[in-house]
Structure 1
Amino acid sequence: MEFDFSPVITYFPILIKGIGATLLIGVVVALLSIIGGQLVAVISLYTRKAVSWPLRFLIWLFMTTPLLLQLYFLYFGIGQWVLIPAIAVGVLGLGFHYMAYNADIFIATIKSVSNGQYEASRSLGFGHLATLFHIIIPQAFYRAIPQLGNNMIIMVKDISVLSAIGIAELVYLSQYAISVTFRPFEFYITIAAIYYLINIVMETGQSWVERRAAIRR
């Protein structure tokens, strides 16, 4: 069987739309999961057990169940009672999934900040919240950057799972092109190359951010 990449060239504008959708979803999910992960970590560490234990249970639940199962539960399960658009399910499902992982990272990095810094800040007149958000959390965030970067690289690849609920990201649109052209091998090779390039760009960006964070620390 001979390779023929001409169908890929013909349908490449569709793949471009898929790349754009994938990257846009990735940015939204990254913001949701990182900001939400910080909030969940702070609440679980600095509130009463009646609040922190349910949050820790949710973290455990999202980390120990498959992402696809979570998406199906939101889309087909809760969708029986509440009509939720597929894109909202995809963004929220992926966001909550990685929010749990990021919260676990932030819990560890917040704990790694010396208690002496908290006490010194309070002795200088900073309140509890001011100390957390101006002293503790910034340091915890810088320490978490390598792990957060790795999570976000994995997350972008996991966006392909959203094709299972009909979201028109890169893999979903490529499957449409394959159904028309009957050239799966060429399209899958092309998609793999695209994800590889995205991965390289993200790794380069992560290295730059880590160097900047090292300077600020």
Structure 2
Amino acid sequence: MEFDFTPVITYFPTLMKGLGVAIFVAIIVALMSVLGGLLVAVISVYINKVLSWPLRFFIWLFMTTPLLLQLYLLYFGIGEWVLIPAVVVGILGLGFHYMAYNADIFVATLKSVSDGQYEASRSLGFGHTATIFYILVPQAFIRSIPQIGNNMILMVKDTSVLSAIGVAELVYASQYAISVSFRPFEFFIVIAIMYYIINVFMELGQVWLERLTAYRR
């Protein structure tokens, strides 16, 4: 079998556009899933016990169903009532999916913070809300960095699933070039290398962040 990477060079700008879309989606989803997951966890654990069961059901629902099925339900379900761009559906689908996983992690790390931290904070004059957001949440967030970081690495790779609903990310961008050049193996090799490089940089960033915050745990 002979390799011919000439079509890859020809369509490399197309691949880079797809990579740009994938990175854009990943950044938005990362912010949505981390901040949203933290909010869900805080409400569930500290603020409103009545909402705890519905929020736990939300976490269970998105953790026990396939991501692709969730995307199809959102894409075709929302499409019945309103025209919405596929990239928005993709962001919402990935965001809710990883928000559930991140919320589950934050619930565990919030509960791992000693009750004495809360009592000491209140004895120093901090209110309930201030204690949560200035004392408990920062400690829980730092403890969750390894697991949240792993989730974000998985999420970046899962942006490729969005090609199933027409989002022009990296894998989707390569499909036209593959259909014209009939060189799928070469394109898939290059795409795999791109994802590998992104993962390496994300892992290095995670290691740096863990070392930076290690003394605060």
TM range (shorter): over 0.9
Report the identity percentage.
74
Question: How many angstroms apart in 1 are the aligned matches of 2:18 and 2:83?
Answer: 25
1:77 Cα deviation from its structure 2 partner: 1.7
Corresponding residue for 2:55? 55
Paired with 2:203 and 2:77, the residues of 1 have a C-alpha distance of: 36
Per the alignment, residue 188 of structure 1 pairs with 188
Give the counterpart letter for 1:20 in structure 2.
Answer: G
Give the counterpart letter for 1:183 in structure 2.
Answer: R
3-state SS of 2:118 partner: helix
Cα deviation for residue 215 of structure 1 reads 3.2
What is aligned with 1:88? 88
Stretches of structure 1 lacking an aligned partner (at least 5 in a row): none
- Aligned to 1:65, the other structure's residue is in SS state coil
* Structure 1 residue aligned with 2:167: 167
1:48 offset after TM fit, Å?
Answer: 4.1
Counterpart in the other structure of 2:42: 42
Distance 2:53 2:117 in 1: 26
Partner of 1:97: 97
Gaps of 5+ in 2: none
1:12 corresponds to: 12
- 1:161 deviation in Å? 0.4
Deviation at 1:177, TM superposition (A): 1.0
TM-score by length of 1: 0.97
The match for 2:133 is 133
Pairwise CA distance, 1:83 = 2.2
**Does 2:173 match 1:179?**
no
Secondary structure, counterpart of 2:126 in structure 1: coil
Counterpart CA distance in 2 for 1:28 and 1:6 is 34
What one-letter code is carried by the residue in structure 1 that aligns with 2:179? S
SS of alignment partner, residue 191 of structure 1: helix
Does the residue aligned with 2:40 lie in a helix, a strand or coil?
helix
One-letter code aligned to 1:31 = L
Aligned twin of 2:72: 72
| 1:174 alignment partner AA | S
Query: RMSD over aligned Cα, in angstroms?
Result: 1.0
Answer with 10-19 or 107-116: which moved more.
Answer: 10-19
Residue type of the alignment partner of 1:43: I
Match of 1:142 in 2: 142
Question: Which whole-Å CA distance do the structure 1 matches of 2:141 and 2:47 have between them?
Answer: 20
**TM-score, normalising length from structure 2?**
0.97
SS at structure 1 position matched to 2:79 = helix
